[in-house]
Structure 1
Amino acid sequence: MAHKKSRPGEVRPKNRARVLARLRQSKMTCSTHAFVRGSTVRFYEWLSEVRPHTLPDGPAIWICGDCHVGNLGPIGDASGSPSIQIRDLDQTVIGNPAHDLIRLGVSLATAARGSDLPGIVTAKMVEALMAGYLHGIDPDAALHLPPRPASVRTAMKAATARTWKQLAKERLDGPSPSIPLGRHFWPLSREERREIKSLVSQHEVLALVARLYELPGEASVHIVDAAYWVKGCSSLGQRRYAVLLAVEQDRGPRYRLIDVKEAGKAAAPCVSAADMPRHNGERVVMGARHLCPKLGERMAWGRMLGRSFFMRELQPQDLKLSVDKLEQEDATVLAAYLGNIVGLAHGSQMPPDVATAWGRELRARHGRSIDAPFWLWSSIVDLVGLHERQYLEYCRTWAR
Structure 2
Amino acid sequence: MAKPAYPDPDDRAALLRDAQRLKMTRSAHAYVRGSTLKFYEWLEASAGKVPEGPAVWICGDCHSGNLGPVSSARGQVAVQIRDLDQTVIGNPAHDLIRLGLSLATAARGSNLPGVTTALMLEHMIEGYEAGLQGETLAPDEETTPKEVRRVLRQALRRRWKHLARERIEDVRPAIPLGKRFWPLSEPERAALTALADDEDLRKLVTGLQHRPDDAPIEILDGAYWMKGCSSLGRLRYAMLVGVAGEDGKQETLLIDIKEAVPAAAPRAPGAKMPSDNARRVVAGARALSPFLGRRMMAGKLLRRSVVIRELTPQDLKLDIDSLSREEAVRAAHYLALVVGRAHARQLDAGAKAAWRAELARNRSTTLDAPFWLWSAIVELIQSHEAAYLDHCRRYALQDRAA
Preserved contact between residue 261 and residue 309 of structure 1 (Cα < 8 Å): yes
Within 2, Cα distance between the matches of 1:334 and 1:174? 33
Aligned-pair distance for 1:364? 1.9
The alpha-carbon distance between structure 1 residues 272 and 204, as it changes in their structure 2 partners (threshold 3 A), is: farther
Within 2, Cα distance between the matches of 1:366 and 1:116? 27
Pick aligned residue for 1:51 from 38, 41, 47? 47
Q: What is residue 120 of structure 2 aligned with on the other side?
A: 125
Aligned-pair distance for 1:117? 0.3
Pick aligned residue for 1:93 from 56, 81, 88? 88
Aligned-pair distance for 1:51? 2.9
Preserved contact between residue 215 and residue 244 of structure 2 (Cα < 8 Å): no
Preserved contact between residue 222 and residue 240 of structure 2 (Cα < 8 Å): yes
Q: What is residue 17 of structure 2 aligned with on the other side?
A: 21
Give yes or no for the alignment of 1:337 onto 2:331: no
Pick aligned residue for 2:291 from 257, 281, 294? 294
Q: What is residue 3 of structure 1 aligned with on the other side?
A: none
The residue matched to 2:223 in structure 1 has which SS?
A: strand
Q: What is residue 74 of structure 1 aligned with on the other side?
A: 69
Within 2, Cα distance between the matches of 1:290 and 1:299? 12
Aligned-pair distance for 1:164? 1.2
Q: What is residue 238 of structure 2 aligned with on the other side?
A: 242
> For each residue in 1:253-308, what CA deviation from the matched residue of structure 2 results, as whole angstroms up to 9, or x when unmatched?
12211100000110001112111101101111111000000001110110111210
> For each residue in 1:39-87, what CA deviation from the matched residue of structure 2 results, as whole angstroms up to 9, or x when unmatched?
00100011111132x2111111100000000000111123333211110
Within 2, Cα distance between the matches of 1:262 and 1:218? 28
Preserved contact between residue 73 and residue 207 of structure 2 (Cα < 8 Å): no
The residue matched to 1:142 in structure 2 has which SS?
A: coil
Give yes or no for the alignment of 1:136 onto 2:148: no
Give yes or no for the alignment of 1:62 onto 2:57: yes
Pick aligned residue for 2:194 from 191, 195, 198? 198
Give yes or no for the alignment of 1:225 onto 2:221: yes
Within 1, Cα distance between the matches of 2:306 and 2:215? 20
Percent identical residues:
51
Q: Which runs of no fewer than 5 residues in structure 1 stay unpaired?
A: 1-5
Counterpart residue type for residue 58 of structure 2:
I
Within 2, Cα distance between the matches of 1:218 and 1:243? 21
Q: What is residue 270 of structure 1 aligned with on the other side?
A: 267
Counterpart residue type for residue 345 of structure 1:
A
Alignment RMSD (CA, Å): 1.9
Aligned-pair distance for 1:216? 6.0
Q: Which runs of no fewer than 5 residues in structure 2 stay unpaired?
A: 398-402
The alpha-carbon distance between structure 1 residues 382 and 175, as it changes in their structure 2 partners (threshold 3 A), is: closer
Matched pairs, number: 393
Between 1:232-241 and 1:390-399, the stretch displaced more is 232-241
Aligned-pair distance for 1:207? 2.3
Preserved contact between residue 89 and residue 287 of structure 1 (Cα < 8 Å): yes
Counterpart residue type for residue 365 of structure 1:
N
The residue matched to 2:327 in structure 1 has which SS?
A: helix
The alpha-carbon distance between structure 1 residues 127 and 201, as it changes in their structure 2 partners (threshold 3 A), is: same
* TM superposition score normalised by structure 2: 0.93
The residue matched to 1:234 in structure 2 has which SS?
A: coil
Counterpart residue type for residue 279 of structure 1:
D
The alpha-carbon distance between structure 1 residues 175 and 345, as it changes in their structure 2 partners (threshold 3 A), is: closer
Counterpart residue type for residue 40 of structure 2:
Y
Within 1, Cα distance between the matches of 2:3 and 2:79? 36
Within 2, Cα distance between the matches of 1:338 and 1:175? 33
Within 2, Cα distance between the matches of 1:224 and 1:10? 21
Within 1, Cα distance between the matches of 2:54 and 2:109? 33
* TM superposition score normalised by structure 1: 0.94
Listed as ranges, the matches of 1:111-122 within 5 Å are 111-122=106-117
The residue matched to 1:237 in structure 2 has which SS?
A: coil
Within 2, Cα distance between the matches of 1:379 and 1:218? 53
Listed as ranges, the matches of 1:129-208 within 5 Å are 129-139=124-134, 141-142=135-136, 147-172=143-168, 176-208=172-204
